[in-house]
Structures are given as C-alpha cells and as structure tokens.
Amino acid sequence: MPDTAALVSEATPSVKDALALGLTAPEYELICELHGRAPNVLELAMYSLMWSEHCAYKHSRKLLRTLPTEGEHVVVGPGENAGAVDVGGGLACAFKVESHNHPSAVEPFQGAATGVGGILRDIFALGARPIAVLDSLRFGEPSSARTRYLLDGAVSGIAHYGNSIGVPTVGGEVYFEEPYEHNCLINVMALGLAPAERLVSSAAAGAGNALVLFGASTGRDGIGGASVLASAELGEEEGDGAGKRPTVQVGDPFEEKKLLECSLELLARELLLSLQDLGAAGLTSSTSEMASKGGVGIDLDISAVPLREADMEPFEIMVSESQERMLCVVAPENVEEVLECCEKWEVGGAVIGSVTGGSLIRVRRDGDLLGELPVRALVDECPLYDLEPAPPSAPLYAPARATLAGSCTPREALLALLASPNLCSRRPLFERYDAIVQGRTLRRPEAADAAVLRLPDGGALAASIDCNGRRVAADPYTGTVAAVLECAANLACAGAQPLGTTNNLNFGNPEKAHIAWQLTEAVRGLGDACRALYAPIVGGNVSLYNEGAGGPIYPTPVIGMVGRLPDARRAGRLGFARAGDRIALVGPFAPSLAASELSKLRGEPLPDRLPSIDLEAVIAAQAAVREGVRTGTLASAHDVAEGGLAVALAECCLAGAIGAEVELEGGEEELFGEGAGGFIVSGAADALDQLALRVRVRPLGTVGGEAFTVSTADGRTLLSAGLAELSGAHATLAALFA
C-alpha cells in the first residue's frame, strides 16, 4: 500500500475526473481500494491509461487466452514486444502486427507514419533488426473525398517512414468498404531477424540496476494519443479529427534509425539487461510493464527526463507518447558505456531511475515524491470483463450501392471485377514504397501471393497479411477461418510452410452484444484454424471501439503469417510462365456467390452465413501445392480469392504477360464464386498428373496467346478479352486517385 506521508500535497481528483479520463465509477472505486486511498492527479492519469482498453485489453484478454500459443518453432510467444519463431541457421524471425487506426482517422500522415515507427520499435526492442514491413489498410468507398484524403495521407506516411529508415515495404492489402468511411484501419506488420540467443526480454530485474531512457526528448505531442483515442468511439463530429490532432504522435524516421542502430549495438555488446520501447502511455506503460514482468519495483526521477518543453507537468511527462524513445535496464558498472554509445549515435541518454526490490512505482521530481503506485494494481488488477455475445436481430450493414447490372454478360462481369476498387492493381500505391532496400526482397508486390525475403542460409522467409472484412461480417467464425487459410494459401503458393501467426483484431464496441458476438466467434475461428495449421499465435493487437454515429466497421481480424521455404531459388510466382503449359484447378474449391465481390457490385445484402470449410481437405491441398512449388514441378501457383476463378485466371495472365485458353461449364457461380481451398497452377502435363495422385486436380486449359478466353465443352465462347483490355481495366486505381 502506498505511503502517503511523503507525498507532495496535491488536490485529490473526483469521480467526475475519473469519468472524464475514460474510467467508470466502479473502476474508480476499485482503484481507490487497491491503491489504499484516492489517487492524486498524477496517479489517476497513470491508472486511466493502464486501465484503458488499449493497454489493459479488458474486454478481450479472456478470449485471447483461448488461442494456441505454443509450437515446435516458437521461440518467443505472447507477452513480449513481439513474438519470434525459429527460421533455421541459428536465426529467429521476430514479427508482429499492430494498429494505428484512431490516430490515422484524425491525422492520416502522422498516424500511419508513427504506426510504422511503433511496430519497428517492437521488433528491435526484442533484439532483432527490422527487415520488412507489410500493411493492411481499410477505407470508405473511393468515391468519397474523405477516403481519398485518408488514403493518400496514410500511404504517404507509411512510405515516408519506411523509405527513410531503410526498411522495405514488401506487401500488404487495401479494401474499400462503406463501413470504414469514418473509421479507417491502419494495421502494420513488421519482421526482423536476430541470432536466437541474442533476443532480449523487457522484464526489469536486479535491485539497484539503473533505468536509462534514450532516444528523442519528451514533449507534449501524443499526450492522450493511442491509449485514449483507441479506447473510445469517435463521435460523428470527430470524424474529421477536429480538436484531436494534438493527441497524434509526430514521428522522425531519421531519429529512429539512430535509435535502432544504438539499440542493436548495445545488445551486441551485452550492455543491456532488458529493453522496452515507449509506445502507448509512454513512460507509464513502459516502466510499469517492465516492473510487472520482472516482479520488481521502480523508482523514477522525472527531473532527469530530457524535455522539449521546460514547463511540462509531471502527468504530461509520464503519459506523453512522444516517439523514438527506448527504456533499458543497465547494471551500474555499464552505465557509462551505455551513455557513451548513446552519444556516439547522437541519441540522448539519461539515467532516470533505478530498479528496486519492492513492488511500487515511485515518481519523484527534484527529490519530491509525486506519486506511488502498487505495480500489481496498475498493471495486473484491472478488471477483465465477460462479454455478453448475442447475434444481431437485424442486419447491421446496408448493402453497397449497386454498380453492376444483374443481367451483364460474363465478359462484362470479369472486366467490372478487375476494375473494382477491391480487386484492381495496387501499383499506384505500392510504387511509393521502397520494396527492395536491404537487398533481401525476392518477390515484389503483385509478383507472388506472398512477400519472399532471402535468408543467409540459402532459404527464404515468406510473409502474408490478409482479411476480408465483408465475409467476416457475414459469418464471423467461417470468415475468420477463411482469412487464416488465405494467409496460409499465400505462403503455399510461394513454397513456404507456416511457422507462426500474428493478428490484429479490429472490431466495434464490445459492450454491445452483437459486436461481442462477432469478436467471440472470430476468435474461435482464429484458434481453430491456427491449431489445424500448426501455426500458433505468437503475438498481436486488439483494436476495439472502431465505430461512431454511422455504426461499426466490418469485423476485421487481420491475420499475419510467416513461413519458411528451404530454397530461395524455388520461390513461387503467380504469373503463367510458359506457352504450352497446362493449367489446372487444384483443391476442394466449392465456389459460392455469398458475400462475394460480385454480389457487392450488384448491391446484394450480406447473407446470414457462409458455406462451411473442410479444414483438413484445404490444408492437404495447400501442402500439395507447396510441395509442387518447392520441387519446381509447378511453373506458377495462385490461390483463388476475391472475384473467383475467372479473376484468378485473369490475374495469372496479367502477372505473366501471357494469355490462356480454358474450358469451364460457364455458370456464374463457377466463374465468380468464392471460397477456400482453390489454386490455379500451371506446369507440364506430367507434373499435373503427379499432383493428381495427392489431391483433387481439375484440368482447365493451356497457357498461350495474347488473350484470356473461356469456352464451354461444346465450343461456345463464354468470354474473351485481350491482355491490353484486361490490363486497362485492372489499372483503374490510378485514374480514381489522379
């Protein structure tokens, strides 16, 4: 229990103040009980952040405990700054995905830029050098001026930070749907490599050891930023960010580059006992979480914290979310060397406190005791809430505005799908990113279904990030299973075996029964799919309250997955490669128009459920395709996703700059229906015959020519379009944002 005798006198805040900071009245009462008295202003500010949804996961933690987190390849599981898996050769791959949704809805450039900076710090806080970034973005329909503003700002912010710091952006996805109009999603995934034995924990340890803060100085930018914005709904009047911009952090990628190199040198010289980045809730979260993990106390002297503005209040220093800062624990005899290294890299370094043998966080300034908080109360004893899930009694989402007539021909439907915002080429976006810096990139965006990065031992890493929120909205369980399988399918097309999974659960207000149902069902699907794939969850993020006056976003459990392939030279491609190669459909593909992209273009409402998925059969098909790619018997492989079979075939033609002639029955569902487990592959006839011994294979046709043609068995042409026409339709995003 804190000792109040030495505390500097300060007015005691009221329940009203607690409510204004986002706490509930019962939570404030519990804080007073656990704290042993009413907290003062500084202490209440610290509690309000650590007990926020963003930091405490109080509506999702119980669900997350049901997920699989252990596996053969897991080196670091949930609980650290990032997870890590063994990728061979003594190396571990650290990876994680996080969101910066609410800040980006307020100020898209800095919101997205600092989202990149934050996830990169999570990677090198574990001791790994960042090697790649992937992004998963959601916006309203592109006809909206707000969407175009947010998209341009977010993409520019991602490019600015990633390009400047020298980390390639190697893949990602973007969807445009009306429910994201006022709540855009900016999810960023990062990967890093490190010798497995050099990974470091964030747990503070050793009474008497010094606490060193290094990096940028602390300012008022970001006060009440991610931790507050991400713990409440944006009101309709706040959708344009009015009055919220001061809460958005401001990033400096050049400062972070120095911070990265300094951190990795300190770790290589074995000068640090633990390392933690300062993200949401700033010094409050970093110190208290380090203390909680280590079972120790921490004494802080905020008069030693380097400040940008000399008149900052104590609570501002403790909750500032200024970027590019790290906190480390150092043995006293190594402090001088640590500070010399900070000086070498031109990052500010200062001893701001020490580890104690107690169980309290003490905050002092010039010797005066300003706050004293029990670590357990601050970090571990925030109440966790049971959700009260119930399916919605009426449709939550209005149908999209129809842009395609129901009577269109197959050719018209194909061209409309290729030109649709969710399926057209992302080249105008990803060309802003440097995808090849560091020299590891083997497959650039649109060359393969997954990003592929070279490893030192001759193997390669593959990474994918994916989710179709509209399909999850139709059926949260099956839609989430499909999202996990889509990531694994992307890896299979590259020739990679899944090693581990990360996730970012983006949902509306979990206090509402129908949102709680979406979240519960999605987590159940996530767990079942990851268990079936032996791809455990090693870390992730939860972003709730993504809704406002217009309603909730589509439930969007973004999945990130990392895999390994043994021979980088055999990394798969999606484009058809050789004239004369045979084309086949592989796997248990059962197409359905339910919640498909075609149904959206026709303005059809979402169904109540999706067709069930045979997990075992889909995973067997993935294994067969993966083996075909690894052995080189398949010249190309591409999974069937949005837009169905016809779109997948057209994408293979476009990526390979070569045509194809295929034979189909011609039903609309066969051409444009969607579902898990289908792959378009090409190769020699005997290779496909061998594949058919392992899995279902349906011959479709032959690669060649300068057009994509679909005919029936009786010779009737269903559709035919030249490569130039397909490419022109596929390139519509450039015109939309010209």
Percent of the chain as helix, strand, coil, to the nearest 5: 35, 25, 40
Are 170 and 132 spatial neighbours (Cβ–Cβ below 8 Å)?
yes
Strands 679-683 and 582-586: antiparallel
Helices (H), 602-694: 615-631, 644-656, 668-672, 685-691
* DSSP three-state, residue 465: strand
DSSP assigned state of 334: G
Say how many CA atoms lie within 13 Å of 64 toward its Cβ.
Answer: 22
DSSP assigned state of 579: T
| Cα 332 from Cα 161, distance rounded (Å) | 35
Helix or strand (DSSP H, E) at 461: strand 460-466
- Residue 398: Cβ within 10 Å count: 12
- The token duo for 129 is 């050098």
- The token duo for 126 is 């574990």
**Catalytic site residue from 35, 59, 73, 100:** 100
Identify the bridge partners of residue 211 per DSSP, sorted by sequence position.
329, 353
160 is catalytic: no
| Cα 409 from Cα 668, distance rounded (Å) | 10
Q: Which of 398, 487, 477, 471 lies closest to 642 in space, CA to CA?
A: 471
CA distances from 204 to 4, 292, 298, 356, 368 (A): 25, 8, 9, 10, 24
Supply the Cα-derived Rg of the chain in whole angstroms.
26
Residue type, position 216, single letter: A
Helix or strand (DSSP H, E) at 732: helix 732-736
- The token duo for 645 is 């079979």
Burial class (CB within 10 angstroms; exposed 0-12, middle 13-18, buried 19+) of 1: exposed
- The token duo for 423 is 């399926």
Centroid of chain to Cα 52: 20
| Cα 325 from Cα 442, distance rounded (Å) | 32
- The token duo for 466 is 């994916």
Residue 4, by phi and psi: left (phi above 0), alpha (psi -120 to 50) or beta? alpha
Is the alpha carbon torsion for 158, 465, 431, 727 positive or negative?
Answer: negative
Is the alpha carbon torsion for 16, 18, 23, 26 positive or negative?
Answer: negative
Catalytic sites, residue numbers: 54, 100
